[in-house]
Amino acid sequence: MNQKLSGKRIIVGISGGIAAYKSVELVRLLRKSGAEVQVLMTPDAHRFVTPLTLGTLSEREVLTEIFPPNQTGSWTKHVHLGLWADLMIVAPATANTLSKLVTGVCDSMLTAVALSARCPMMVCPAMDHDMYEHASTRDNLSTLRERGVAVMDAPEGLLASGLTGKGRLPEPEDIAERAAGLLADHSPTQAGPRVLVTAGPTRESLDPVRYITNRSSGTMGFEIARAAQRMGCRVTLVAGPTALETPEGVTRVDVETAREMHAAVLAHRDADVIVMAAAVADYEAASVSRDKIKKADGDLVLQLSRTPDILRELGARRTDDQVLVGFALETRDAEKGALKKLHGKNVDWIVLNNPTEEGAGFGPGTNKVTLYGRDGRVEPLPVMSKADVALAILGFVEPGVKRPG
Ligand code: CTP
């Protein structure tokens, strides 16, 4: 068991060669070490090992096609997986798959994810000796090396053809060991963009024992903070009252009221990207009673005053280099409301969600959102886990970040 693999997200890409049987053991070893594993198989790999075996061992659905039959609304999966992974291993990499990795052919989920992945990649070629020594394979391997791909040399030994020579797949233990080393070398340097995320509800006191709040759980904002940190960003999370744990490597600032959130955000507004995922209260008590409010015979009328609109203020004071993202929670005329916020608050993206739609809303589960961009883009996303929605949002937003040089 390798501690360095624990908690890591690893894509294992399997192409169609006899050595694919060893990848079954590789997946088992990675899982045993505590890594999350997503298996991608080329169609030919199915001839050697079954998706059922690999799906059972990885505890995730094995993916092969970019456009699987009978599937709608999830064609962006290759992009999400490319952002999700900490490492992609292609083992075995056949001569055919190697050449596709070099030329950018994307005819399966494996080759498409290889193009969109931002994580380090490692390939383990395995084929017959003469194919391995052929000039085209040698050239392809050196091109991949030049591009920063880690190539594990094929050891010498008895091959499936009955010949002896180079072309065997390294032992699964050795591949796992090398993977752990690569992950350690590429652990995020946190020199990426500075990202400020707000999350959760705010809580506005009425008296020493009562307050007004809303149903936000904070999950969406916390997942955005977690995903940004994993992508190498330096993340500050301003959190309203929630029971959620701070994502690893994220700097957390706890606040309670809209005014406290306003102050905390302004103190950290010097960020490259600001994502206002918090459900900030629009109203607070006009005056907070020092003593507990006692009941009387008649009805009680509470006077509420407006809180500062934090996002609007950020939009008014923004620089051109900054990327601002707001959320819109709408239950009626959703698109109209989202566009009004996009332009009215002068932001780059509005993430619209309608909590009454199936799969959307508060709580830890899934979400269904549509992104509206300042440039007119409209990006509807299917129902996904909040972790995947977070990755998708950052995938759209992060390319807009201007980096020095
Ligand atoms: N927001 C904010 N400050 C507030 C209220 C909201 O920064 N006082 C931010 C939220 O974090 C969110 C966006 O503004 O990113 C939209 O919030 P929402 O409550 O949906 O819209 P409102 O502007 O409050 O408008 P309405 O309540 O009329 O829908």
Residue the block writes with tokens 């940004």: 228
Cβ of residue 310 lying under 6 Å from some atom of ligand 1: yes
- pLDDT tens, 224-274? 999 999 888 999 999 999 999 999 999 999 999 999 999 999 999 999 999
For ligand 1, atom 27, name the residue with the nearest CA.
282
For ligand 1, atom 3, name the residue with the nearest CA.
309
Cβ of residue 333 lying under 6 Å from some atom of ligand 1: no
Residue 162, C-beta contacts closer than 8 angstroms, at least 6 positions apart: none
Query: What domains can be seen in the chain, in order of their start residue?
Result: 3-185 (3.40.50.1950), 194-396 (3.40.50.10300)
CA atoms of 275 and 262, how far apart (whole Å): 14
Model pLDDT, residue 405: 36
* More confident: 147 or 89: 89
Distance from residue 328's CA to the centre of ligand 1 (Å): 7
When pLDDT is averaged across residues 199-217 and rounded to a whole number, the result is 96
Nearest to 62 by CA among 12, 18, 107: 12
Cβ of residue 228 lying under 6 Å from some atom of ligand 1: no
pLDDT band for position 222 (cuts 50, 70, 90): very high
DSSP secondary structure letter of residue 395? H
Contact 318, 276 (CB under 8 A): no
Contact 182, 150 (CB under 8 A): yes
Instruction: List the beta strands (DSSP E) in 72-168.
Output: 87-93, 121-125, 150-151, 156-158, 164-166
CA atoms of 189 and 229, how far apart (whole Å): 10
Catalytic-role residue among 2, 96, 214, 346? 214
Burial class (CB in 10 A: 0-12, 13-18, 19+), 116: middle
Where is 11: in which H helix or E strand?
A: strand 9-14
